[in-house]
């Protein structure tokens, strides 16, 4: 059976980590693209030379030609500038929007049937831009955010309680930024509600740390942002699509009336499978949760309006 083809646009830290994650799990043949001369071929070769050790047996091509990305099943867009200390994701809007618009036009030319998975910040606004430029149906354009944010929250809960991360579930709604809405009510440890295991003060501290999870890493790195966890989150989404797993995952998806939101990309739980975003799961939110999601939506909406599409 012909292997799937996965293209990663951008061979920086996130893109290269994605390529490695995908290759190790043998989800398909990987094309790593970057406009910087030699960057993608060099990182692709490095990953390939790890293959005899980790046992992966897929093709990895590093290239600066969009023609090599032709007929991809999934295209992961990581291109753009990363945050620096003191920057919000919104600060990246103007520069990254021009990059993403250019990239999307070329990706669509060579892979008109692909799923497009956006990682570039500000995530929700960039995903909306990709949807508009590509003209693809909404099920084939999505953003990676909630899987990462929920993973951060799961780790913080496990760390606080000194339990396995495997037993922790967490859910995060809203835009990928400081206005995100970590849902403590829907977060559990082996089915046990958080409220039965820790104080309200500790829960609130975890919620706040989750909101600032990316910024905390940026403050340590000084000259870059997170890439291992984002790459793993991308990999989980790619696997759900290519293996038609029907996973219920938090994804930045286009809403058309769900949660009272229309024509905007916001993080919500979806069924992710062989057709991409197959269903938006609409939770019955409490009034304060709905209000928080509304504020997060308005934050995303304000960025989209600045795109001047």
> Which residues form the catalytic set?
176
Alpha carbon distance 209, 146 (integer Å): 15
What is the SS3 assignment for the chain?
A: CCCCEEEEECCCHHHHHHHHHHHHCCCCEEEEECCCCCHHHHHHHHHHHHHHHHCCCCCEEEECCHHHHCCCCEEEECCCCCCCCCCCHHHHHHHHHHHHHHHHHHHHHHCCCCEEEECCCCHHHHHHHHHHHHCCCHHHEEECCHHHHHHHHHHHHHHHHCCCHHHEECCEEECCCCCCEECHHHCEECCEEHHHCCCHHHHHHHHHHHHCHHHHHHHHHCCCCCCHHHHHHHHHHHHHHHCCCCEEEEEEEEEECHHHCEEEEEEEEEEEECCEEEEECCCCCCHHHHHHHHHHHHHHHHHHHHCCC
254 CA to centre of own chain:
14
Give how far Cα 93 sits from Cα of 203, 300, 309, Å. Answer: 32, 11, 13
Query: Which residue in 303, 267, 301, 306 sits closest to 283, CA to CA?
Result: 267
């Amino acid at each position: 059976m012909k292997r799937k083809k996965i293209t990663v646009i951008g061979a920086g830290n996130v893109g290269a980590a994605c390529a490695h994650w995908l290759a190790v799990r043998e989800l398909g043949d990987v094309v790593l693209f970057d406009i910087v001369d030699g960057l993608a071929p060099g990182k692709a070769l490095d990953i390939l030379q790890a293959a005899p050790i980790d046992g992966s047996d897929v093709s990895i091509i590093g290239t600066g030609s969009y023609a090599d990305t032709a007929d991809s099943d999934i295209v992961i867009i990581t291109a753009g500038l990363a945050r620096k200390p003191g920057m919000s994701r919104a600060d990246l809007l103007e520069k990254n929007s021009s990059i993403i618009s250019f990239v999307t036009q070329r990706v669509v030319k060579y892979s008109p049937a692909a799923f497009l998975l956006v990682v570039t910040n500000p995530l929700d606004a960039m995903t909306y831009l990709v949807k508009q430029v590509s003209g693809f149906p909404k099920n084939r354009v999505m953003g990676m955010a909630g899987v990462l944010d929920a993973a951060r929250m799961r780790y913080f809960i496990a760390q606080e309680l000194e339990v396995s991360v495997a037993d922790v579930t967490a859910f995060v709604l809203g835009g990928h930024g400081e206005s995100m809405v970590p849902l403590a009510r829907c977060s559990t440890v082996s089915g046990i509600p958080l409220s039965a295991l820790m104080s309200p003060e500790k829960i609130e501290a975890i919620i706040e740390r989750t909101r600032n999870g990316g910024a905390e890493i940026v403050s340590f790195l000084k000259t870059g942002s997170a890439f291992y966890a984002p790459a793993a989150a991308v990999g989980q989404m790619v696997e759900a699509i290519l293996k038609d797993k029907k996973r219920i995952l938090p994804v930045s998806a286009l809403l058309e009336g769900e949660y009272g939101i229309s024509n905007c990309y916001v993080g919500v739980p979806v069924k992710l499978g062989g057709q991409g975003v197959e269903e938006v799961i609409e939770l019955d939110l409490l009034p304060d949760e709905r209000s928080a999601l509304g504020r997060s939506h308005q934050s995303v909406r304000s960025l989209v309006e600045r795109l001047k599409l």
